[in-house]
Amino acid sequence: MPRPSLDEVLGSDDEFGLLEVDVRPAATAGGETAQVLVELERFVGNTGRPPSSEPGTPIAERILATKAKRLSGNPAIGALLLPKEPEPPASIDDILGDELLEDDPIFDLTHVKPREVHDQPDYIGSRKPCDDFERFRPLFEAVAADLGAGRREARKFAREQEIDVGQFFIQKGMIAYVAEAGEVFQDRLGNRNRRLRVIYDNGTESDPLLRSFASLLYNDENGRRITDPVAGPLFAPEPDEGDVQTGHIYVARTLSKDEHIARHAPRMLKIGVTGGDVHRRVVDAINDPTFLLAPAAIVTSFTLYNVNRTRLENLLHRFFDPVRADIEIKDRFGRLVRPREWFFATPDHVTEVVRRIQDGSITRCYFDPKSGIVDTANQ
């Protein structure tokens, strides 16, 4: 069988003129150049790209690509075949506002926290007006009086373990009182933490985490912890050799919102004796009928050495019996309860009685509702 000629292999039907070669110089092909330019402009305008000659591309596009390639020496056609340089963004908003970025998954950080989050401490409480500040005002007045009289000291804040319910601090020149504390939990770093309610003497309050509040005190050059009152040698924090700590006298004030109780709260104190930490004593006050089923705050306390707590408490209650408050409330189960440790007295009255117990002069004193402490030796 004779070998087929090239014409027979390619065939004679060149429908699209792919085999036709225009050997005319560009200067003589002005008509075709103009036509290709029109087609290219229309194509690029519709698709936003030059025509392609890649396999699988529609045949009409491949033809246009072939023509364009043949005439690419023409500057007008060459410009259409080059990718267009984007306009530079005028501002950062132009970059962030790009539609291509709106749904880009690289901005969806599901397991990674931004650096600014890592650099920030856990939630720092926001400051706001304290709606029930009148309940706390007497506490601040008493602390200010104690500081002025030397019964309390303002010491440099040293450790976060000092932060507890009932404690006072100085932060940014304001007296801060820790009124409440939430449940202990572990933060993301594995540290023990809890939410606080902190009242300030300017009538505001905040709800920081304990560790955040500690950081504020650490970083404040004048951050201070206000000590508990000191009341003489026998009750002082430093006992003599051989002394045994047996407990504390504590004086508390109710923070009840009950209108009948709140009306008398500024003049009413709870006087008690405990073998444990005085501030722990009020932590669960809201569930304790002896604390009127309401939050309470320690006003002052005295450490005891070599003293029988039960006898001392009975002595205090008998001495203040003339001004004992007659209160009747219902407990959580609806039963009537009459707390017996509330008295119409002042912290100074209690301090005076403690001093007289120390020096033995209490045996010649009694409490008069109108005159206060009366020493019969002076009558």
Q: According to the 3-state scheme, what is the secondary structure of 187-247?
A: CCCCCEECEEEEEECCCEEECCEHHHHHHHHHHCCCCEEECCCCCCCCCCCCCCCCCCEEE
Collapse the DSSP code of 6 into the 3-class scheme (helix H, G, I; strand E, B; otherwise coil) and give the result. helix
Confidence of residue 20 (pLDDT cuts 50, 70, 90): low
Cα–Cα separations (whole angstroms), residue 70 to 47, 67, 75, 79, 163: 21, 5, 13, 14, 84
**HSE, side-chain direction, 13 A CA sphere, residue 280:** 7
Number of H helices, E strands in the chain: 13, 17
Looking up tokens 């246009």 gives 64
Contact at 8 Å (CB) between 248 and 231?
A: no
Question: What's the confidence (pLDDT) of residue 1?
Answer: 55
Q: How far apart are CA 152 and CA 237, in angstroms?
A: 12
- Does residue 198 register a pLDDT over 90? yes
Per the model's pLDDT, the better-predicted residue between 129 and 67 turns out to be 129
Ranking 69-83, 232-246, 290-304 by mean pLDDT, the lowest is 232-246
165: closest CA among 199, 138, 140? 199
Q: How far apart are CA 178 and CA 186, in angstroms?
A: 20
Higher pLDDT, residue 37 or 204:
204
List pLDDT tens digits, range 230-249: 544 445 445 555 556 678 89
- Rounded to whole angstroms, the Cα distance separating 347 from 298 reads 11
Greatest alpha-carbon pair distance for the chain in Å reads: 153
pLDDT tops 70 at residue 363: yes
Predicted pLDDT of residue 188: 80
The most confident of the ranges 178-192, 221-235, 342-356 is 342-356
* Percentage with pLDDT > 70 across the chain: 72
Q: Is the model's pLDDT at 366 over the cut of 50?
A: yes
pTM for the full predicted model: 0.47
Angle at 302 between CA 218 and CA 130, to 5 degrees: 50
User: How much is the pLDDT for 253?
Assistant: 93
Q: What is the DSSP string of 133-164?
A: GGGTHHHHHHHHHHHHHTSS-EEE---GGG--
Give the Cα separation of 119 and 76 in Å (integer).
56
Query: How many CA atoms lie less than 13 Å away from 230 in the CB half-sphere?
Result: 15
pLDDT score, position 241 = 59
pLDDT at residue 147 in the model: 82
Q: How far apart are CA 197 and CA 176, in angstroms?
A: 10
Alpha carbon 347 to its chain's center: 35
Coil, helix or strand at residue 83: coil
Distance CA 88, CA 249 (A): 76
pLDDT at 272: 93
The pLDDT value recorded for residue 305 is: 79
Q: What is the mean pLDDT of the chain?
A: 78
Residue 135 has pLDDT above 70, yes or no: yes
**What percent of the chain clears pLDDT 90, i.e. is strictly above it?**
25
Q: From CA 64, how far away is CA 53, in angstroms rounded? A: 8
Label residue 293 by pLDDT band (50, 70, 90). Answer: very high
Domain ranges, ordered by start, for the chain: 16-81, 122-226, 245-378
The pLDDT assigned to 13 comes to 52
Residue the block writes with tokens 């132009």: 94
What integer is the mean pLDDT of 56-65?
Answer: 78
Whole-number pLDDT of residue 122: 47
Looking at the DSSP assignment, which residues form a beta bridge with residue 288?
A: none
pLDDT of residue 64: 81
pLDDT for position 176: 94
Q: Tell me the pLDDT band of 151, cut-offs 50, 70 and 90.
A: confident
Bridge partners of 180? 197
Q: Which of 130-134, 177-181, 219-223, 277-281 is predicted least confidently?
A: 277-281
